[in-house]
């Protein structure tokens, strides 16, 4: 387990703020029980901030024809949709919602070549809202597998997640389970899969990135 580099600045600022608040609490608040209550709350906030940026060390469930989850979270949508940004055709959309308590690092679900990546400014609907997929701040990445099939991942910002970070670049050769980005503080990842993909998850399932199989080519 380690901390993600994108969290260093936030963790440092959080630590400074909590240190100042703790000092002010001890100096200003006259009641000991209230001091203990407030200081405990500050400590829990700092622990939560640390845990948000944790990066687990996992054994990747490598497979040529498996599509792995890119994010930890809960399956909130499985449906056939018309994908109009890249493919202009029908796709199976599988959506993973990440709560503020999930790990928010994102990993490639397959190996292949990045053929498309684009950042979109947008609104900040709740990540579980269907409109978030097309209206929210988002980043789109397409990876083409060696078998010629392509899948699209869409990183979506939520109400609190207003910073999407992606390391993907067009023509990158990527490995299954390799990190491609992070979304801060609660968000969602949509997968747009070929229409003949065999879906291996159902609504409400909890999935783990790098390990859970969401589909098979």
β-pairing, 112-120 vs 138-144, is antiparallel
pLDDT at 186: 61
pLDDT band with cut points at 50, 70 and 90 for residue 130: low
CB 172 within 8 A of CB 164: no
What does 28-47 look like in DSSP terms, one character per residue? H---HHHHHHHHHHHHHHHH
pLDDT in tens, 51-92: 777 888 889 989 989 999 999 999 999 999 999 999 999 999
Going by C-alpha positions, the residue among 181, 99, 174 that lies closest to residue 140 is: 181
The phi and psi torsions of 133 (rounded to 5 degrees) equal: -65, -30
Whether residue 101 has pLDDT greater than 70: yes
Please say if 99 is a catalytic residue: no
CB burial of 139-165 (b: ≥16 within 10 Å; e: otherwise) equals bbbbbebeeebbbbbbbbbbbebeebb
Q: Which of 150, 166, 187, 212 is flagged as catalytic?
A: 187
Assigned token pair, 180: 């491609």
């Amino acid at each position: 387990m380690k901390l993600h580099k994108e969290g260093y600045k936030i963790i440092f600022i959080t630590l400074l703020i909590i240190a100042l608040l703790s000092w002010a609490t001890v100096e200003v608040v006259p009641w000991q029980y209230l001091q203990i209550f407030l200081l405990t709350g500050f400590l829990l906030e700092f622990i939560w901030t640390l845990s948000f940026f944790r990066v687990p060390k996992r054994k990747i469930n490598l497979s040529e024809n498996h599509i792995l989850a890119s994010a930890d979270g809960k399956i909130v949508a499985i449906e056939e949709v018309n994908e109009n940004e890249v493919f202009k055709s029908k796709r199976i959309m599988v959506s993973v919602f990440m709560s503020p308590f999930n790990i928010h690092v994102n990993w490639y679900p397959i190996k292949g070549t990045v053929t498309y990546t684009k950042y979109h400014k947008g609104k900040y609907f709740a990540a579980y809202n269907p409109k978030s997929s097309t209206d929210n701040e988002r980043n789109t990445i397409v990876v083409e597998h060696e078998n010629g099939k392509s899948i699209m991942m869409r990183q979506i910002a939520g109400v609190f997640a207003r910073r999407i970070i992606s390391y993907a670049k067009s023509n990158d050769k990527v490995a299954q389970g390799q990190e491609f980005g992070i979304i801060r503080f609660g968000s969602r990842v949509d997968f747009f899969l070929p229409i003949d993909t065999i879906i291996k998850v159902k609504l409400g399932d909890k999935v783990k990135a790098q390990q859970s199989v969401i589909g098979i080519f």
